[in-house]
Amino acid sequence: MAPPSIRLFNTMSMQKEPLEPLVPGEVKVYVCGPTVYSYIHIGNARTFTSFDVVVRYLRYRGFKVTYVRNYTDVDDKIIKAAHETGEAPVDLASRFVEAFREDARALHLREPDVSPRVSETIPEIVAIIQTLVDKGYAYEAKGDVYFAVDKDEDYAKLSKRNLDDLCQGERVQPGDLKRQPLDFALWKAAKPGEPSWDSPWGKGRPGWHIECSAMSEKFLGRTFDIHGGALDLIFPHHENEIAQSESATGQTMAKYWMHCGFLDLEGAKMSKSLGNVVRLRDALAKVDAEALRFFFLSTHYRHPLNFGEKALQDAEGRMEYFYETLRKVDERVAGKDFGKGPLHGEPARFLTEFESAMDDDFNTAGALGALSGLFGFMNELTDKPPVKDKPLVGRTLQALREQVRETSRVLGLFEDDPGAWLLRRRDRAVRERGIDVAEVERLLAERTAARAAKDFAKADQVRGALKTLGVDIMDTPAGTSWKVAAPAS
């Protein structure tokens, strides 16, 4: 069986390339994980969701995937945050590792195969630094160790930046022991109150960039297939990773580099320095997790994405439409035997379109477009069947429903029971809008009685009263249900 023809955009070459793994049928993926000094924000969440789908799709396509995503649990930001809270840095880091795991589960992120921590990788970090020193790529200065950028002729090959321009924007700060402005720390000498480990240069701790070189090599080898992260990591983090790893090993670090675009907050780039950061758990308190995930996936991972209240409302409304469709289909076909036979139309085309979009640089926006066609076809078959052959329609609906299950394995959407999801959505909307559920139920009973008495004028009057309360009702073969109406735009 021929491997699928997946193409991905490689930041190194700045073009789409066919995915040709180093080992046929196997893909090794490393993604830079969170620095655990606080709760992650929605920009982080978008990046992790994008690569979660990349890994899911590779597995869906039959690849054996080894997925590594690290925790940076030794860092200047962690030390600073710990001093502010009075905690030990290790305790603060562990607390936010657990917080991240909670947030990741809420967002339907699957656990990586390996989730290493910097604090657990010190021997490997020290070994790489020693190799760089021995080869003349790094130098020691009073317990610090720095990478000498001018020793690496290929430096900045990922970011395509001009070294002269970079040097003009950098300065050697007072007390800094590096020789050149662009040199960066591999090891930092111990300071009072900071975590530290023994090394050939004295007690200290790793610099930021060296950790990913050590962890990726430890779990994926000196050369692996895909290295991913957010766009803002290209420089200096990923650039410095490449310099360290390739100078130490003499081998290419990663064959493909993938980067997720920025998330903008109401038209402005989200930034901690600007104070306009939205934490993931705060967003999840206001919007359903699957709706937020749908929002992330509705735009190609490399493109910028605008985050705002209207966009979230639209995403949640779209998920409600999907789940209402699935509830109708399940009521129609679940557990029923329509026998074997032909299907109506060409239902398989939707899965083909889905895979074609995902094969093209993991285009989730195109994949969701294919699913919109699938859901539209399901609604057509349930609401106004174009044929009167009920077994034919039933078989087709069952085939389409199975396609939704297949795609949900990739997207992490539509995994819930439709009725349970819709009820949660309704309950949250009821609380937000202050709707009196007892009054709604009383009016529904009044309408049911009017319909039973064939007093349709009264029934319509009650429907209007419910509409005034902000409630829409749906009459189905299974009975009457209700939901909170979408807010007026």
Point out the annotated binding site. Answer: 32, 212, 237, 241, 272
Taking alpha carbons only, the member of 322, 273, 270 closest to residue 293 is 322
What backbone torsions phi and psi does residue 475 show, to the nearest 5 degrees?
A: -95, 120
Neighbours of 361 (CB within 10 A): 21
C-alpha to C-alpha distances, 302 to 10, 279, 353, 413, nearest whole angstrom: 11, 21, 20, 20
Contact yes or no for 291/298 (Cβ under 8 A): no
Q: Exposed/middle/buried for 68, CB within 10 Å: 0-12, 13-18, 19+? A: buried
What is the C-alpha separation between 262 and 184, in angstroms, rounded? 25
Instruction: List, as residue ranges, the binding site for ATP.
Output: 272
* Contacts with 171 (C-beta within 8 Å, 6 or more apart), sequence order: 181
Q: Which amino acid is at 328?
A: K
The pair of three-digit structure tokens given for residue 373, joined into one six-digit string: 């066609």
Of 251, 225, 253, nearest in space to 240 by CA: 253
**How many other CB atoms sit within 10 Å of the CB of residue 47?**
28
HEC-encoded secondary structure of 316-327: HHHHHHHHHHHH
Structure tokens at 181: 């402005």
Helix (H, G, I), strand (E, B) or coil at 475: strand
What is the residue type of 404?
A: V
What residues have CB less than 8 Å from 274, skipping those under 6 apart?
Answer: 268
Reply yes or no: is the peptide bond before residue 236 cis, omega within 30 of 0: yes
Between CA 295 and CA 300, with CA 296 as vertex, the angle to 5 degrees is 115
Name the binding residues for Zn(2+). Answer: 32, 212, 237, 241
What's the CA gap between 136 and 131, in Å, rounded?
A: 9
3 state DSSP class of 62: coil
